[in-house]
Amino acid sequence: QKEVEQDPGPLSVPEGAIVSLNCTYSNSAFQYFMWYRQYSRKGPELLMYTYSSGNKEDGRFTAQVDKSSKYISLFIRDSQPSDSATYLCAMISILTGGGNKLTFGTGTQLKVEL
Amino acid sequence: DTAVSQTPKYLVTQMGNDKSIKCEQNLGHDTMYWYKQDSKKFLKIMFSYNNKELIINETVPNRFSPKSPDKAHLNLHINSLELGDSAVYFCASSPVKGANYGYTFGSGTRLTVV
């Protein structure tokens, strides 16, 4: 079983829809939670990050973390065709010897259709 | 432009060959990483260097050898290439303090072994 589980999709929604993307994790050592967006043939780019349980909003994007349930979500409001990409949840654990490690979910492919 | 840059972007080579991928970052970050993304888009960490010191070495065949001549560069050398090595390899960097703000990724090197 992977440390981070994410539904691979694909997920297809009409323009303007609210999109909900989710991940569950098993490692209690994860301390920081992120969402990356990856367009086709590009590198992942950081979309949002959060540390504590609760919600964090940035424009049309809201990241939600529930540490007690080991569950994180990303909501996209008023989705646009330009949001079509693969969304990867990612989590950082701090290593005992120093440094840190970023572990990714498998990614959810999202397509927003006109 | 401040960025993480990798060369080459594409690499097609025959089984058994030895090849190198180069990575450079001008963000002033202390830590650099190599990730492998398979055909199912799963990103898995391979190595991490902090200021030229190896701090993460996941279960990767000995044919893969990272080299960090200075903290701005992290190269990946692969010996005796196999078909299963075909993937996209991403270089990334992060600051030591503030890694919770996420890693910055390069645009990837698409390796095809034939």
Q: What is the mean pLDDT of residues A2-13?
A: 92
Number of domains in chain A: 1
Is residue A15 over pLDDT 90? yes
CA–CA distance, A74 with A92 (Å, rounded to integer)? 17
CATH code of A55's domain: 2.60.40.10
Q: Looking at the DSSP assignment, which residues form a beta bridge with residue B112?
A: B12
Judged by CB atoms closer than 8 Å, whether chains meet at A42 and B108 is answered as yes
CA B61 from chain centre, in angstroms, equals 14
- Pairing of the two strands A85-94 and A100-104: antiparallel
Closest-approach residue (CA) in chain A for B89 = A43
Examine residue B95 and say whether the peptide bond preceding it is cis (omega within 30 degrees of 0). Answer: no
pLDDT per residue as tens digits for the range A27-68:
998 989 999 999 999 999 999 988 888 999 999 999 999 999
Q: Chain B: residue nearest A97 by CA?
A: B55
Residue among A48, A51, A102, A104 with most chain B CBs within 10 A, to mutate: A102
For A102, the closest of B41, B55, B103 (CB atoms) is: B103
Please give the full DSSP string across A17-63, using - where no structure is assigned. Answer: --EEEEEEE--TTEEEEEEEEE-TTS--EEEEEE-SSEEEEETTEEE
Interface of B with A in 13-42 (CB under 8 A): 31, 33, 40-42
Contact A23, A31 (CB under 8 A): no
Q: Does B102 touch chain A (CB under 8 A)?
A: yes
Write a three-state SS string for B56-110. EECCCCCCEEEEEEECCEEEEEECCCCHHHCEEEEEEEECCCCHHHCCEECCCEE
Overall size of chain B counted in residues: 114
Least Cα separation, residue B20 to chain A (angstroms): 19
Report the alpha-carbon distance of residue A97 to residue B86 in Å, rounded: 32
Question: Are the Cβ atoms of A101 and B43 closer than 8 angstroms?
Answer: no
Mean pLDDT of A64-82: 96
Per-residue model confidence (pLDDT) at position A100: 83
Domains along chain B with CATH numbers: 4-113 (2.60.40.10)
The Cα B67–Cα B65 span in angstroms is 7
Span B45-92, pLDDT tens digits: 999 988 888 888 888 999 999 999 998 999 999 999 999 999 999 999
Q: Are B34 and B91 in contact (CB under 8 A)?
A: yes
Chain B: closest CA distance from residue A42 (Å)? 5
**Residue numbers of the domain that contains A90:** 4-113
- Of A31-35, B23-27, B61-65, B101-105, the range with the lowest mean pLDDT is B101-105
CA A12 to chain centre: 17
3-state SS class at B42: coil
